[in-house]
């Protein structure tokens, strides 16, 4: 039976009385007040859960923020960040502006752009986090830039990613003898795949690792790379991307399972390497191969490298939805993630191996000592290998490339 609008109007004052006044958003600049308000809060962190190392690290964070701040942190495991974005957008469309279900999101790129475009984020808050200063943004502008877009304090940096290739040095030559030099650019990669059919692949789109491979290839192949740093709709998308589709058309028949099937994620691709089905793969986490060797998931003959022309890299962030009911708790968690303790633990190869966003060279001696890496691991990249980082294109290119790939290779 429908409820009469007048009945709703009459009941509204009583409902508001019972619910109490809506709490004002905490002031990020009054950190002591933020800490006081955060104590005892439950924070729901929506984060990709496709890798057990990441999940275990977040579990550790939950233990630490409970011990230090009495915050009950719950990892809401999702397969794609877009799920969290869609949830917040649906809540806004339903008029739920004060009691959302999402308190913190692991985010960057097109998802951050979508949330900013729809006014779905709380902020600015990042620059007010006490540990944010340890990133030294004046010397490291990547911590305040997300896929060409200034973050403007609406997300806090958490880690660094950059495409890193890895291979089994005992198997790289396929049925022929092993070779010491893997393919050093996108063109050489195609030649190697042709000579070693079935020994390379990339994750199925829209997986973010697979989508990043598309962007890496496009940057290398197009003569109009300046177009990639403006909205995709402002370019001749067909002309700019034509070399990419020609390249993939040539590459796919030589991929694992002849390009008729793709691994779902980067970790699944890593498993194929561990099982010996692939000889060459890549990751978006430069320390992942070394961490996998330490965990006996990859053989000690694994080696890492980056392409001669550099590889695509970015910073990943956390952000707070505008309707989070636990903004203070979310800010405290974001600040803890930037602490030397949390950043060093995250970079530990035995934990996750994700690179820090802190400017380690500017930390005090005790903090700097926490970030020493085990360079004896043969799968570690050589020092300085990541200095040539290619910037991410405008976030609109990610979505446009994913849609075009799906239409071309999967069908509508």
What's the CATH code, domain 24-160+315-369? Answer: 3.40.190.10
Q: Is the pLDDT of residue 179 over 90?
A: no
Please indicate whether the domains covering 24-160+315-369 and 164-314+387-409 agree at the CATH topology level.
yes
Q: Average pLDDT, whole number, for the chain?
A: 90
pLDDT at site 377: 86
Q: Is the pLDDT of residue 176 over 80?
A: no
* Minimum mean pLDDT range among 12-16, 30-34, 151-155: 12-16
The first and second tokens of residue 381, run together, are 């990249």
pLDDT at site 385: 81
Q: How confident is the model at residue 10 (pLDDT cuts 50, 70, 90)?
A: very low
pLDDT at site 13: 36
Q: What average pLDDT does the segment 216-224 reach?
A: 95
- The answer to pTM > 0.85 is yes
Round to whole Å and give the CA distance between 230 and 2. Answer: 49
The torsion angles phi and psi of 239, rounded to 5 degrees, stand at -70, -40
Q: Are 321 and 100 in contact (CB under 8 A)?
A: yes
Q: Is the pLDDT of residue 361 over 70?
A: yes
Q: What average pLDDT does the segment 148-152 reach?
A: 96
Distance (Å) of CA 100 to CA 110, 118, 263, 370 = 21, 15, 34, 37
Q: Is the pLDDT of residue 210 over 60?
A: yes
pLDDT at site 294: 87
Q: What average pLDDT does the segment 227-251 reach?
A: 97
Round to whole Å and give the CA distance between 200 and 189. Answer: 9
pLDDT at site 262: 97
pLDDT at site 23: 54
Q: What average pLDDT does the segment 240-258 reach?
A: 98
pLDDT at site 157: 98
Closest CA to 332 of 113, 106, 121, 40: 40
pLDDT at site 412: 54
pLDDT at site 301: 92
Q: How confident is the model at residue 59 (pLDDT cuts 50, 70, 90)?
A: very high
**Bridge partners (DSSP) listed for residue 355:** 160
What residues does each domain of the chain span? 24-160+315-369, 164-314+387-409
Which residues are within 8 A (CB) of 162 and not within 5 positions of it... i.e. 6 or more apart?
A: 284, 286, 306, 311, 312, 313, 314, 355, 386, 389
3-state SS, residue 91: helix
> What class does CATH assign to 164-314+387-409?
alpha beta
3-state SS, residue 400: helix
Q: Are 45 and 81 in contact (CB under 8 A)?
A: no
- Residue with token string 């966003």: 357
Distance (Å) of CA 239 to CA 149, 227, 243 = 24, 11, 8
pLDDT at site 378: 87
Which residues are within 8 A (CB) of 326 and not within 5 positions of it... i.e. 6 or more apart?
A: 38, 41, 42, 43, 44, 103
Q: Is the pLDDT of residue 372 over 90?
A: no
CA-based angle 371:374:376, to the nearest 5? 160
Residue 193 belongs to what H/E stretch? helix 186-195
pLDDT at site 9: 34
Strands annotated E in 223-368: 280-283, 302-305, 311-319
pLDDT at site 215: 97
Round to whole Å and give the CA distance between 122 and 114. Answer: 14
Q: Is the pLDDT of residue 42 over 90?
A: yes
Round to whole Å and give the CA distance between 321 and 119. Answer: 9
Q: What average pLDDT does the segment 255-262 reach?
A: 97
Q: Is the pLDDT of residue 292 over 70?
A: yes
Q: Are 198 and 256 in contact (CB under 8 A)?
A: yes
Closest CA to 48 of 152, 143, 159: 159
**Bridge partners (DSSP) listed for residue 162:** 313
Residue 2 CB coordination number (10 Å): 4
């Amino acid at each position: 039976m429908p409820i009469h609008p007048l009945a709703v109007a009459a009941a509204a004052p009583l409902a508001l009385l019972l619910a109490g006044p809506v709490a004002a958003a905490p002031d990020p600049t009054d950190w002591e007040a933020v800490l006081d308000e955060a104590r005892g809060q439950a924070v729901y962190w929506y984060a990709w859960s496709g890798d057990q190392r990441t999940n275990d690290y977040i579990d550790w964070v939950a233990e630490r923020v409970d011990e230090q701040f009495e915050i009950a942190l719950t990892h809401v495991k999702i397969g794609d960040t877009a799920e969290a974005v869609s949830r917040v957008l649906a809540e806004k469309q339903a008029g739920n502006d004060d009691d959302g279900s999402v308190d913190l999101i692991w985010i960057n790129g097109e998802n951050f752009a979508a949330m900013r475009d729809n006014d779905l984020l709380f902020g600015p808050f990042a620059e007010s986090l006490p540990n944010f200063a340890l990133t030294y943004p004046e010397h490291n502008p990547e911590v305040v830039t997300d896929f060409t877009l200034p973050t403007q304090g609406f997300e806090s940096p958490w880690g660094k990613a950059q495409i890193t290739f890895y291979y089994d040095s005992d198997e790289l030559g396929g049925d022929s003898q092993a070779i010491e030099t893997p393919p050093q650019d996108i063109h050489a990669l195609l030649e190697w795949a042709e000579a070693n059919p079935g020994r390379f692949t990339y994750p199925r789109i829209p997986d973010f690792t697979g989508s990043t491979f598309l962007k890496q290839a496009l940057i290398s192949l197009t003569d109009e790379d300046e177009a990639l740093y403006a909205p995709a709709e402002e370019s001749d998308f067909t002309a700019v991307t034509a070399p990419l589709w020609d390249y993939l058309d040539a590459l796919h028949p030589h991929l694992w399972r002849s390009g008729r099937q793709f691994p779902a994620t980067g970790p699944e691709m890593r498993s194929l390497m561990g099982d010996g089905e692939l000889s060459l793969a890549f990751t978006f986490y430069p320390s992942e191969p070394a961490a996998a060797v330490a965990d006996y998931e990859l053989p000690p003959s694994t080696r890492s490298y980056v392409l001669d022309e550099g590889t695509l890299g970015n910073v990943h962030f956390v952000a707070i939805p505008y309707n989070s009911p636990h903004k203070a708790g979310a800010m405290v968690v974001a600040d803890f993630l930037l602490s030397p303790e949390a950043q060093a633990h995250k970079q530990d190869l035995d934990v996750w191996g994700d690179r820090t966003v802190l400017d380690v060279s500017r930390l005090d001696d005790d903090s700097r000592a926490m970030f020493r890496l085990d360079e004896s691991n043969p799968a570690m990249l050589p020092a300085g290998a990541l200095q040539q980082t290619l910037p991410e294109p405008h976030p609109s290119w990610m979505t446009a490339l994913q849609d075009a790939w799906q239409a071309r290779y999967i069908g509508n």
